[in-house]
């Protein structure tokens, strides 16, 4: 009987596949805790690479870079689900990789993910997988309209999605997506959207953060309100379902489960095998934030306390707010309970996530009102 591996302690080198803002915040957490970090990302201006001990500027399937990461890192994780599963498998031959390639492979394909959820008894909006125009016609007959057509891979923040009102819309969108595999999903009238971020360890220990209520604009998360303004029974159901998803996947690391709430009924929308935008509130409002949890799960340490210390509202800051004179940071920073986090991205573009801020207040309504005022003032 093999003994449990010893946890990795400060001084060890941790690897991060991906150099965006999630990788940056992981890197900051890891270095604060005394770990060294190696980031693999092809972008020379990588936000995570700016903070890392070592930045390997190479592609995610680059054999030499993966070989160096495997040799130098005691453990490796990722900040996005579309890293090649083959890269995780290669790294896993010589070092600890969390989450594992099997779990990531399921959730990086929307069709496979939806089918997995259905097989395991999790409620989703009605859907059908589409791989051809003939399958699209069959899906339209089964699902009906209105509906959403979503690419199976590489779609995020509203990209790779089309609202379908007629069969002609569906065929036009499918051709616009290049005929790649898609999912046709029934359009659901929502009460709200919520998410649960959690961490799960090798031993199955699970630490769940409070439920976040999320509002989107243009397919991109705009506001997260915590605690979510839903009844206690639904919040418990969301947490129980998120944990059941993680257990069924055998997941190790930090993950998020996004839910639709329609007519008071909870439905799983999608799984993110990484820290999540809707968990950024944890950086200022919880005993342990989602990125420290990611470090802990990767290093094999006991998980931290996810307890909420204060009601909080998170606002995304997109590149749309950059003008000739830039965002009005002075207005935001004049408020002592507003916490600004910028990602170090060199170029602002419409729709690009440049940062976020959190507003904390003992009164959740006051936190939301101030957060929306400050967002508009930027």
- Chain centre distance of CA 167: 32
pLDDT at position 1 over 60: no
Strands, E, within 71-126: which ranges? 75-78, 96-97
Q: What is the DSSP string of 310-361?
A: S-EEEEEEEGGG--TT---HHHHHTSTTEEEEE---S---TT-EEEEEEEE-
Q: CA triplet 165, 147, 228: central angle to 5 degrees?
A: 130
| pLDDT score recorded for residue 156 | 60
Last residue of a domain, one of 167, 186, 205: 186
pLDDT tens per residue across span 179-197: 999 999 999 999 999 999 9
**Choice among 99-103, 150-154, 206-210, 299-303 with the minimum mean pLDDT:** 150-154
Statement to judge: residues 161 and 241 lie in one domain: no
* Same-domain check for residues 222 and 178: no
pTM passes above 0.75: yes
Could you tell me which residues are beta bridge partners of residue 86? none
Report how far Cα 226 is from the mean position of its chain's Cα atoms. Answer: 17
Tens digit of pLDDT for each residue in 247-293? Answer: 999 999 999 999 999 999 999 999 999 999 999 999 999 999 999 99
CATH number at residue 180: 3.30.1490.20
Same domain, 62 and 174: no
6 belongs to a structural domain: no
Report pLDDT for 297.
98
pLDDT(45) > 60: yes
Same domain membership, residue 214 and residue 322: yes
* 157 token code pair: 């923040």
Same domain, 33 and 161: no
Same domain, yes or no: 40 and 167: no
Domain limits for position 26: 13-97
Domain check: are 85 and 158 in the same one? no
- Quick one: CA torsion of 6, 102, 306, 284, rounded to 10 degrees? 110
State pLDDT tens for residues 133-149: 999 999 999 999 999 99
* Helix and strand numbers, DSSP H then E, in the chain: 12, 18
Convert the pLDDT of each residue in 309-340 to its tens digit: 999 999 999 999 887 677 999 999 999 999 99
CATH of the domain at 228: 3.30.470.20
User: Does 176 lie in the same domain as 49?
Assistant: no
pLDDT band, very low/low/confident/very high, at 160 (cuts 50, 70, 90) = confident
In a domain, 3, yes or no: no
The Cα–Cα gap between 374 and 371 comes to: 5
With 60 as the cut, is the pLDDT of residue 246 above it? yes
Instruction: Please give the mean pLDDT across all residues of the chain.
Output: 94
What pLDDT shows up at residue 158? 57
Task: Tell me the percentage of the chain whose pLDDT exceeds 70.
Answer: 97
Residues 134 and 210 in one domain: no
Q: At what angle do helices 133-143 and 167-176 cross, to 10 degrees?
A: 140
Mean pLDDT, residues 338-364 taken together? 96
In a domain, 81, yes or no: yes
**What share of the chain has pLDDT > 90, as a percent?**
88
Q: Does 107 map to a domain?
A: no
Domain count, the chain: 3
């Amino acid at each position: 009987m093999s003994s449990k591996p010893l946890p990795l302690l400060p001084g060890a080198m941790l690897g991060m596949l991906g150099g965006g803002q999630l990788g940056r915040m992981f890197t900051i957490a890891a270095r604060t805790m005394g770990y060294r970090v190696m980031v693999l990302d092809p972008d020379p201006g990588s936000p995570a690479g700016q903070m890392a001990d070592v930045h390997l500027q190479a592609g995610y399937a680059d054999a030499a870079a993966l070989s160096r990461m495997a040799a130098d890192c005691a453990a490796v994780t990722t900040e996005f689900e579309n890293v090649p599963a083959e890269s995780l498998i290669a790294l896993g031959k010589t070092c600890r990789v969390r989450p594992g390639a099997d779990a990531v492979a399921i959730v990086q394909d929307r069709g496979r993910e939806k089918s997995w959820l259905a097989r395991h008894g999790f409620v989703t909006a009605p859907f059908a997988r589409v791989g051809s125009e003939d399958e699209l016609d069959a899906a339209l007959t089964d699902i009906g309209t209105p509906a959403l057509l979503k690419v199976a891979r590489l779609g995020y923040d509203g990209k790779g999605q089309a609202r379908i009102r007629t069969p002609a819309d569906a065929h036009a969108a499918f051709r616009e997506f290049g005929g790649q595999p898609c999912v046709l999903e029934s359009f659901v009238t929502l009460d709200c959207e919520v998410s649960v971020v959690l961490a799960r360890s090798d031993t199955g220990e699970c630490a769940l953060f409070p439920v976040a209520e999320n509002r989107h604009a243009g397919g991109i998360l705009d506001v997260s309100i915590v605690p979510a303004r839903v009844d206690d029974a639904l919040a418990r159901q969301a947490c129980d379902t998120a944990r059941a998803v993680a257990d069924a996947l055998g997941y190790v690391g930090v993950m998020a489960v996004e839910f639709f709430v329609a007519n008071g009924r909870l439905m799983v929308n999608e799984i993110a095998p990484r820290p999540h935008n809707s968990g950024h509130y944890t950086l200022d409002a919880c005993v342990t934030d989602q990125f420290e949890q990611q470090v802990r799960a990767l290093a094999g340490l006991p998980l931290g306390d996810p307890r909420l210390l204060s009601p909080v509202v998170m606002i995304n800051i997109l590149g749309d707010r950059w003008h000739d004179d830039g965002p009005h940071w002075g207005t935001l920073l004049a408020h002592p309970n507003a916490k600004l986090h910028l990602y170090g991205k060199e170029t602002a573009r419409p729709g690009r996530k440049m940062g976020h801020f959190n507003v904390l207040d003992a009164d959740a309504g006051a936190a939301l009102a101030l957060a929306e005022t400050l967002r508009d003032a930027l």
